[in-house]
Chains A and B, each alone.
Chain A
Amino acid sequence: MILSVRDLKVSFRTHDGMVRAIDGVSFDLGESEILGVVGESGSGKTVSLLAVMGLITDPNAVIEGSIRYKGRELVGLPARELRRLRGNEIAMIFQDPMTALTPVYTIGWQIAEQIRAHRNVSKAKAMERVEELLAEVNFPNPHEAMSRYPHQLSGGMRQRAVIAMALSCNPALLVADEPTTALDVTVQAGILDLVRKLRATHKSAVVFITHDMGVVSELADRVMVMYAGRVVERGSRMELFSDPRHPYTRALLGSIPPLTGDKPRRLLAIPGSPPSLLRLPQGCAFGPRCPAQYEPCATGKPDLRGGTHAAACYRVAQA
């Protein structure tokens, strides 16, 4: 097991009281497995992975639970130790590649710096490796690209450069937070293809965060659906998409217009909007928007029930 998260809770102290952004998230990730994490904005998908990376540095944040990477506990690990892991064994890709790259150095310089921070190699050796990496992420002319500055590259190429940087130390775990959201579909298709290929060649485990059900369905082995800081359903790709159980998952799938076949007269919209974490409803957080709501939902918070395919819903448990 590469990553094992148990009962992770992340809260923030704010002027309006404690806000629990993540409320008891548990999941496992095996070698060269791709886990898709889906949810809307504010569902906690990013915060939970930032916690895994040890990137929540806000002094008002309280992190509870356990995060084990290859059996080693990460919660409470000193920053120095975490830095040794990050970029080396665990790498991350963000939505906007421009924020991950500095505008004042060339792509080649930046990737080489990353390699030299973790490996004891000469500058020339590092540069050689950069060229290999850029070729691997399908830069048409890797040698020339090394001397380019980020602003001279297109959005898709910048994201490829960031991926090359993430891969530079052969990470065992790659966390990708909406890496294709800012890109055109044609470019996205190329990046998804690349992630799939890299999983095969580097054997990295990947956590892929997105709001796009289509992307998850194309890429992930297993899927985790989040809502208001909790996991509402998880299962293999097949289980989740051919037999969605949680009303939220069903509604989310129903609200996507089809690309082929007949157009529905109306889309199955979910009424209301995602709740504010400051004013979460009593009981099930999805309750007020749920078409299947009944008495127990108003008081209790349902737990994930089931084997590999589990849903956190009283209706599902009852059926």
Chain B
Amino acid sequence: MSEPMIDKDRPILETRSLGKRFSIGTRFSAEGRRTVHAVDNVSLTVWRGETVGLVGESGCGKSTLARCLVRLYDITDGKLLFEGDDITTKSLSELRPLRRRLQMVFQDPSASLNPRRRVGDLVAEPLRIHGKLSSREITQRVAELFDLVGLQPDHVMRYPHEFSGGQRQRVGIARAIALNPDLVVLDEPVSALDVSVQAQIVNLLADLQEKLKLTYIFIAHDLSVVRQVSTRIAVMYLGSIVEEGPAEELFATPAHPYSQALISAVPVVETTPSGTRKRIILTGDVPSPLKPPPGCRFHPRCPIAVERCRTERPVLDERKPGRKVACHFPTLS
């Protein structure tokens, strides 16, 4: 992947201590009404032209954060800024012009495409809603988009079920880029695809980013895919970012014990007779976000936790240029 042009003077999206709380249960349920902190105190800056990868185990809040970033969820705490403009509490009608510039691609393309409509129609839909194009211009733009994402021009008349998973995801991407957005949030866009098709989509996303000067926020549970796509990575655990840094650097020298365990757990193809990689196997499960442990939230599973970790919650601090870690004892080389 060629180095995209990253403009470090103009953050496109910024969160300040962003949080999302859900209340669950009713006052009649056994435990009464309770609050889940799905996203807790996330401050993240996304620069124009870069790809920020979000990684973490299921339930760590990465998808919730993604949905907050495009205001699919209402934000309960903190602030969300788009190009310096506070959009935390903007009403739906105020958000409308922004929606064009802020798009999202979902994991399961068969669930996000209406099965009863032709794909050409599905791709034209955002153009009709937002654009001021004539129907001839729309047809032209759809053909252009199909070409851009690698679909045949005669595919416009087909229905979603006539496509393979990879092609369906291409339709989902065409829909997302139809209005020339600035930022695209991709929530597990390749997870449902076969390995051989995954690589096609990863390449397509890289090509589109270069051609259309897009900024991506990329979520996937496959760490090697995230590393490939991202320029910067944020590792999440129980709703908060525990480490942030440039993709290759973070994978080569993870500083937070959780990042270390996560990366070491990825099975890789090895051609040496015996595995040379050291694996850190975490004990126990991710604690319930209903009852997060006190102090550092990772301490019950952390191999190097001490008394201080049990009481004092570490803050996400810049320990080295570009490297932020939320740990009392980070491994910094």
Which A residues contact B (CB, under 8 angstroms)? 40-41, 140, 154-157, 184-190, 192-193, 211-215, 217-218, 238, 241-242, 251-260, 263-271, 273-274, 289
Contacts and interface: CB of A to CB of B under 8 A. Distances in A.
B166 to A, nearest CB: 5
A72 to B, nearest CB: 35
A241 B202 contact: no
A188 B266 CA distance: 9
Given A154-B285, A186-B261, A256-B269, 8 more contacts: A40-B194, A140-B284, A184-B221, A185-B223, A186-B265, A212-B267, A242-B271, A266-B203
A257 B267 contact: no
B83 to A, nearest CB: 29
Contacts of A215: 267
Contacts of B1: 263-266
B57 A40 contact: no
A255 B265 CA distance: 20
Given A256-B224, A263-B227, A273-B164, A189 B195 contact: no
B225 A188 contact: no
Interface string B243-275: 000001001100000000111111111110101
B228 A257 contact: yes
B265 A189 contact: yes
Contacts of B195: 40, 211-213, 252, 255-256
A189 B228 contact: no
Given A267-B202, A269-B203, A258 B224 contact: yes
A244 to B, nearest CB: 10
Contacts of B264: 189
A185 B58 CA distance: 10
Contacts of B165: 273
Q: Which of B200, B269, B286 has the most CB of A within 10 A?
A: B269
A255 B196 contact: yes
B279 interface: yes
Contacts of B285: 154, 156-157
A3 to B, nearest CB: 25
Contacts of B166: 273
A270 B251 contact: no
Nearest to A188: B265
Contact of A238 (B199, B227, B271): B271
A267 B228 contact: yes
Interface string B12-38: 000000000000000000000000000
B272 to A, nearest CB: 9
Interface string B275-301: 100010111111000000000000000
Contacts of A255: 195-196, 198-199
Contacts of A41: 194
Interface string B186-199: 00000000111111
Contacts of A140: 283-284
A184 B223 CA distance: 11
Given A255-B195, A257-B227, A266-B1, A271 B262 contact: no
A242 B273 CA distance: 10
B252 A260 contact: yes
A223 to B, nearest CB: 11
Contacts of B266: 185, 214, 259
Contact of A241 (B225, B271, B275): B271
A276 to B, nearest CB: 9
A33 to B, nearest CB: 17
